[in-house]
Amino acid sequence: MAKNRIKAKSKRITCHKRYKILRKVREHHRKIRKEAKKNVTQHKSKLDLFSLSLQGKDPGIPNSFPFKEEVFRHVEELKKQTNEVREYNLLHARKPVENSAKVASTPASSGLRREADKVIMEADVILEVLDARDPLGTRSMETEQKVLAAKKRLVLILNKIDLIPKTNLESWLFYLRQFYPVLPFKANTQQQSKHLSRGKWIENASEDILTKSKKYSRYAVFTLNSRCTRAFGVDELLSLLANYSRNELKKKTHKENPVGCLTVGVVGLPNTGKSAIINTLKRQKVCASGNVPGITRQCQRIRIDKDLFLIDSPGIVISASADQSELVLRNCVRVSY
């Protein structure tokens, strides 16, 4: 006699339940991605973020933990120590280095210093231009101290990024952004006097795609070659200045700012590319620039648009501890043969 076998239960479910399960899965994945974005750091890979997101949200220290107050005090001490180390590094970086070899002060250099001080006092935002090949050598701590003393916004512009490798650029950006906002930039080097072209960034694109494809011929990655004449980093800089303009104009009255626009001063050592940056933003050569230091001898006001003024300042060596040999190697002074 045949045995009565229990019929296997069907795995079929209703469409309503199936779609409900899929919707819950999508919401769960979206929540994991959202939590992973909050835990993004400079040195974590995608695999680390995925494994971290699978662990779920940190519940914190339970109330029943016997040493909860001690753990809280330890965490607060670590935060305090981290802030103290950061403030110490910032103050140490601003402190000028003493050196016995000092540059002789001449009437011409004193006049240039007065021009630079005038730019710092008149401008709302200060752009300090650094040479990407030697950012620390072209960085003036005295200028930064004067800007902070005047309570003005300071932004570092890392110019000539096409002359260094990509790894060097990323390392310098990571280091300098611990102190101030930093933007990479490449000034336009085209020969015409008007209609200077610009480019945009595609960080994840390969150089083969950018060089072979006509569609992406006006784009570039961080590893630019020396033959590239287009400007890069313009959109990011203008966007940052537009944000500053909205914030600054709200704070000031008509008497404090009768012009009704943001004034940006461009300062830096000689031959770092200050005038070239202004020409790039204006898209025409309104300031004299060249590979010889000391071309700009006085301040010049350039209007970029209705909400933005730029002040081109002469390049000066404000540091009293500068060595003449170092200035010659950095092409900050003219050499007479």
DSSP 134-181: STTTT--HHHHHHHHHTT-EEEEEEE-GGGS-HHHHHHHHHHHTTTS-
Cα separation, 33 vs 36, in Å, equals 5
pLDDT at position 98: 43
| Domain spans of the chain, in order of start | 103-190+232-329
Cα separation, 175 vs 182, in Å, equals 10
pLDDT at position 283: 74
Cα separation, 179 vs 130, in Å, equals 14
Cα separation, 317 vs 109, in Å, equals 8
Cα separation, 102 vs 106, in Å, equals 12
DSSP 257-272: -TT-SEEEEEEESTTS
CA angle 277, 283, 286 (to 5 degrees): 70
pTM of the model: 0.58
pLDDT at position 23: 94
Beta strand extents in the chain (DSSP E only): 125-131, 153-159, 182-184, 200-201, 219-220, 262-268, 300-305, 308-312
Q: Exposure of 326 by Cβ count < 10 A (0-12 exposed, 13-18 middle, 19+ buried)?
A: middle
**What are the distances in angstroms from CA 18 to CA 14, 22, 23, 30?**
6, 6, 9, 19
Q: Does domain 103-190+232-329 have CATH number 3.40.50.300?
A: yes
CB 173: neighbour CB atoms within 10 A? Answer: 18
Do 197 and 231 contact (CB within 8 A), yes or no?
yes
pLDDT at position 206: 43
pLDDT at position 27: 93
Mark out the alpha helices in 95-136 (DSSP H runs): 107-122
pLDDT tens track, the chain, 337 positions? 566 777 788 888 999 999 999 999 999 999 988 887 776 544 444 445 445 555 555 667 777 777 788 888 888 888 888 888 777 766 665 554 444 334 444 445 566 677 777 888 888 888 999 988 888 888 888 888 888 888 888 899 998 888 888 888 888 888 888 888 888 888 877 666 565 655 555 444 444 434 444 443 444 444 455 456 677 788 888 888 888 887 776 666 555 555 667 888 888 888 888 888 888 888 777 776 666 665 666 677 878 777 788 887 776 655 545 566 666 666 666 655 5
Q: How far apart are the first and last CA of the chain?
A: 117
Q: Tokens for 305, please give them.
A: 């648009």
pLDDT at position 212: 42
**What are the distances in angstroms from CA 1 to CA 4, 8, 268?**
9, 21, 101
Q: How far out from the chain centre does Cα 116 lie?
A: 23
Any residues with CB less than 8 A from the CB of 241 and at least 6 apart, and which?
125, 262, 264, 308
Do 265 and 313 contact (CB within 8 A), yes or no?
yes
pLDDT at position 259: 60
Q: Exposure of 186 by Cβ count < 10 A (0-12 exposed, 13-18 middle, 19+ buried)?
A: buried
